[in-house]
Copies of this chain bind each other. A is one copy, B any other.
Amino acid sequence: MPQHDAHARLAVSTVIFALSPDDAGAAGGTAGDLAPGRPASLRIPLVRRLREPGLGRWALPGGWLPVDEALDAAAARTLHETTGLAPAYLEQLYTFGEPDRSPGERVVSVVYWALVHSDEVLRAVSDENVRWFDEDALPDLAFDHAAVIGYALARLRTKLEYSRIAHALLGETFTMAELRQVHEAVLRRRLDPANFRRTMESSGTLVDTGERLAGTRHRPPALYRFDPARTPVTSPTSAGPPHAASVTAPAPPATGTHSKDTP
C-alpha cells in the first residue's frame, strides 16, 4: 500500500444491527418471527476482506469517501452495496483515527451505526463473503473493528434508555412481547412484562392497531404500530443541526456488488 500523498485517507464504515431471526427459518407471521420463549439477540453483518491488510479476516462494511458525497450518504450507500439492506436508522458513531490503526497507511474512519427492520433481514445478502454474526460470537476482526463494535454496542444500549429507537429493529406492526424482546436483547437482561407494558403505553409512542395476532398457542396479543408523528424522536442531543437521520434512509442506486477494502 503506497502512501502517495501527505494526507490521511478518509473511509466510512457502518456497524449494522438487526434482531436475530433465529436462523433463516420459516417466513410469514409477524416481524421476523421472534420465538416467544427464549431471548432474542443482536446480529451484525460483516464482510470478508479480499485484500491486504487483514486479508481473509472479517470487517465492517464500508468504503472510501468520494469527494462529492456526504458522510451519511456514503454510509448508507456502502451499507446497501455490501449487504443489500436499507437502514431504518442511521447515526454517526465516532471517528477513529489512531495513526497506526491500519498497517502501512494512515486511515481515518468515520464510523456510523445503523438499525434495520427485522423483516428487511430476509432480503439481505448472505454468501461466502458476507455473513451475520451474533453479537456475542464475533469472529476474529480486522483492524480495530472489534473495539469499534464494542463501542457501538455500548452506544446502542445507553441510547435505548432515553430514546425510542427500538422500533427500527422491528417490522411495521408488532406485539408488546416482541417490543419487549428487543429491549431485552439490547439491554441483555429480563424486563418485567407488566411494568414494560405500562412504561411503553404511557410513553405515547405506540398506537394500538385494533388487530390481534392469531396463531399463537394461547391468548392472542394486540398488535401495535409506532405513532409516526412522535416516532422520529431521536435524542435530546438533537438540539443541534447534525446528528441522526432517523427512520427511512437514503438507499441509493443499488449495485449488488459487495467488496470494499477499508478499515
Contacts and interface: CB of A to CB of B under 8 A. Distances in A.
Contacts of A96: 242
Contacts of A65: 7-8, 97, 108
A147 interface: yes
Given A150-B239, A241-B147, A97 B68 contact: no
Interface residues on A, range: 35 or more
A225 interface: no
Contacts of A158: 236-237
Interface in A137-162: 144, 147-148, 150-155, 158
Interface string A233-244: 000111111110
A7 B151 contact: no
Interface in A214-258: 236-243
Contacts of A5: 5, 7
A8 B108 contact: no
B92 A70 contact: no
A86 B128 CA distance: 50
A187 interface: no
Contacts of A240: 147-148, 150-155
Contacts of A209: none
A94 B155 contact: no
Nearest to A110: B95
A182 to B, nearest CB: 20
A9 interface: yes
A71 interface: yes
A71 B144 CA distance: 15
Interface of A: 3, 5-10, 65, 67-71, 92, 94-99, 106, 108, 110, 144, 147-148, 150-155, 158, 236-243
